[in-house]
Amino acid sequence: MRAMTASPELFASLTDDVVASGSDTVPVATPSTGETLHELPRSSAGDVHDAVARARLAQLAWARAGFAERRRVLLRAHDLVLERRELLLDLIQLESGKTRGQAFEEVFGAASLTRYNALAARRVLRGRRRRSGVPVVLTTRVRYRPRGVAGVITPWNYALSLAAMDVVPALAAGCAVVQKADDQGALSILALRRAFIDAGVPEALWAVVTGEGSEVGEALTDVADYICFTGSTATGRRIGEKAGRRLVGASLELGGKNPLIVLDDVDPEQAATDAAYACFAAMGQLCVSIERIYVHRAVARAFTRALIDRLEQAKLGSSLDYGSDFGSLASAAQLARVEAHLGDALALGATVLTGGRPRTDVGPWFFQPTVLIGVTPSMHVYAEETFGAIASLYIVDSEEEAILAANASEYGLNAAVFTGSTRRGQRVANALEAGNVNINEGYRGSYSSFAAPMGGMKQSGVGRRNGPEGLLRFVEPVTISAMTGVLQLPRTGREFGALEQPLLLLAWVLRGIRRR
């Protein structure tokens, strides 16, 4: 095994950056052994208010600095993230228990989306002329004003890359960020932040607070100028209500119960290999992970056999190298959640095709990737998000049946279709009710396309991150109209009377030549 670059001294120096005035700490465990990795300081509601006040001041200068300066700093941050990848990979693995491959996806993704936002911000957010209400008499421009301080609340599962998806566009748009990190994942976020600070982002512009969601998260929701939340649908609903009461904007990236359709024209071996990754990368603890597989009867036997083989041959582990295929569940709570869904399903008649047991021989919270058949609506696992290690397999007789079943969910985050025909894939994709649809990949196509919006329909969320849409969240459009002085708008009855016919003529001409 390679030498670890992370150390207790490094953990302490990183956690010094948490805005926490008290001396309270909480132990954070590493999933590979279940032992305490480090002690994380806890912030209070007062710390949130202090961080927001300082961020407000820092934001004024950052907004004035302009697009070119922000681009320079963010591109430098991109370089530092890649240069420091070994440390970031170690921290992600130590905190989450995922494999090096999935940690690499996080780091590489964070760098890529930093590059995208650095380079796209000016193009998306620079002021523009728009057609004015009365040509010649008026000119109209739209400028985009940064909202101020964005409150970013992130979960534990993809701590680094999910943080970057909200923090980086906020910075690129000229906002400041106060981020409430989950305890698990805070080290990775702090190390990522350090790269940005070293690249030139002012310290107060991106503050990190930690602590209970019910205290620290709520305090942030009460004062931020815009809220980016990633987490469960239940918490997202609560945050959306609070933001609504305050009339501030919010983007809510929530849960999913993501379907995969396997059509009758696939290569079953390849489809099974891709399905295994789509379901069990990060042990299924990713919002876009596949939890429902609808396989066409014509290929069901070959696909299922290949899927079982693939999962049973896969190497479980969390060593700090590329030697493992699948990692650990992230915590004892996650293990309990998986076991509860499995126990309920088995009690109500589901059958385990493969897996279905803890792997304490590898580590305390490891679980063998599990595929169930015979899942029915009475079971929790049927419609509720498990968020770990279990996929349910259903056999269908047609494309239409698969689409109907895939769409029969309160969620609409991610969906996938595997097929031998791209045309057919596009047709099915158009019929699926999800904010992200992938053809011949489980989720990585859309998840890695940082120039395109990512987010959910139905109970999976409100708003989109990534792409121009992700940047536009952080600005208020301001429309500025100015009289040219060439003519005046009518003010008296006589002036209206004189202008009525010319204006009507203008309207018909513009409509005739299809001018907006």
CB of 22 to ligand NAD, least distance (A): 18
* Closer to ligand NAD by Cβ: residue 6 or 286: 286
Of 285, 315, 318, 361, the residue nearest 30 (C-alpha): 318
Burial class (CB in 10 A: 0-12, 13-18, 19+), 298: middle
How many residues does the structure list for the chain?
516
* Contact set for ligand NAD, span 114-133 (CB under 6 A): none
Question: Which of residues 231, 327, 369, 442 is near ligand NAD by CB under 6 A?
Answer: 231
449 DSSP assignment = -
* Contact set for ligand NAD, span 329-388 (CB under 6 A): 385, 387
Choose, from 253, 291, 339, 399, the residue flagged as catalytic: 253
Q: How far apart are CA 177 and CA 415, in angstroms?
A: 31
Q: Verify binding: residue 255, ligand NAD, rule CB under 6 A.
A: yes
Question: Which of residues 43, 117, 235, 304 is near ligand NAD by CB under 6 A?
Answer: 235
Question: Which of residues 97, 456, 467, 470 is near ligand NAD by CB under 6 A?
Answer: 456
Q: Phi/psi of residue 365, each to 5°?
A: -115, 15
* Closer to ligand NAD by Cβ: residue 209 or 311: 209
Of 228, 225, 222, the residue nearest 179 (C-alpha): 228
Q: How far apart are CA 247 and CA 241, in angstroms?
A: 10
Q: Verify binding: residue 256, ligand NAD, rule CB under 6 A.
A: yes
Q: How far apart are CA 199 and CA 73, in angstroms?
A: 6
Q: Strand 411-412 to strand 457-458: parallel, antiparallel, or no bridges (unpaired)?
A: antiparallel
Supply 123's token pair: 């193009």
* Closer to ligand NAD by Cβ: residue 419 or 436: 436
H runs (alpha helix) in 97-232: 100-125, 159-172, 186-199, 218-223
* Closer to ligand NAD by Cβ: residue 209 or 300: 209
Of 15, 17, 160, 166, the residue nearest 93 (C-alpha): 160
Q: State whether residue 79 is helix, strand or coil.
A: helix
CB of 13 to ligand NAD, least distance (A): 23
* Closer to ligand NAD by Cβ: residue 223 or 254: 254
Q: How far apart are CA 18 and CA 52, in angstroms?
A: 13
CB of 236 to ligand NAD, least distance (A): 7
* Closer to ligand NAD by Cβ: residue 159 or 316: 159
Q: Verify binding: residue 40, ligand NAD, rule CB under 6 A.
A: no
Give the DSSP per-residue string, 12-53: HHHHTTB---S--EEEEE-TTTSSEEEEEE---HHHHHHHHH
Asked if residue 206 lies in contact with residue 200, where contact means CB atoms within 8 angstroms, the answer is no
Instruction: Give the range of 197-205, 253-261, 269-277, 373-381 binding ligand NAD by CB under 6 A.
Output: 253-261
Instruction: Give the range of 19-27, 216-224, 319-327, 479-487 binding ligand NAD by CB under 6 A.
Output: 216-224
433 is catalytic: no
x/- map, 280-299, ligand NAD, by CB under 6 A:
-------x------------
* Closer to ligand NAD by Cβ: residue 242 or 305: 242
The side-by-side arrangement of strands in the sheet containing 128-130 is 128-130, 138-146, 475-483
Q: Verify binding: residue 461, ligand NAD, rule CB under 6 A.
A: yes
* Contact set for ligand NAD, span 143-172 (CB under 6 A): 153-158, 162
Number of residues that bind ligand NAD (CB under 6 A): 30
Question: Which of residues 59, 99, 230, 419 is near ligand NAD by CB under 6 A?
Answer: 230
Instruction: Give the range of 35-43, 51-59, 226-234, 366-374 binding ligand NAD by CB under 6 A.
Output: 226-234
CB of 213 to ligand NAD, least distance (A): 2
Q: How far apart are CA 35 and CA 364, in angstroms?
A: 10
Beta pairing partners, 367 = 358
* Closer to ligand NAD by Cβ: residue 209 or 350: 209
Asked if residue 220 lies in contact with residue 153, where contact means CB atoms within 8 angstroms, the answer is yes
CB of 218 to ligand NAD, least distance (A): 5
Q: Verify binding: residue 238, ligand NAD, rule CB under 6 A.
A: yes
Look up residue 490 and give its amino acid. P
Q: How far apart are CA 114 and CA 119, in angstroms?
A: 9
Instruction: Give the range of 35-43, 111-119, 251-259, 476-484 binding ligand NAD by CB under 6 A.
Output: 251-259
* Closer to ligand NAD by Cβ: residue 346 or 472: 472
x/- map, 409-438, ligand NAD, by CB under 6 A:
----x-------------------------
Question: Which of residues 30, 221, 304, 318 is near ligand NAD by CB under 6 A?
Answer: 221
Asked if residue 342 lies in contact with residue 384, where contact means CB atoms within 8 angstroms, the answer is no
Within 8 A by CB and 6+ apart from 486, the residues are: 136, 137
Look up residue 373 and give its amino acid. I
Site of interaction with ligand NAD (CB under 6 A): 153-158, 162, 180, 182, 213-214, 217-218, 221, 230-232, 235, 238-239, 253-256, 287, 385, 387, 413, 456, 461
Instruction: Give catalytic residues, as residue numbers.
Output: 253
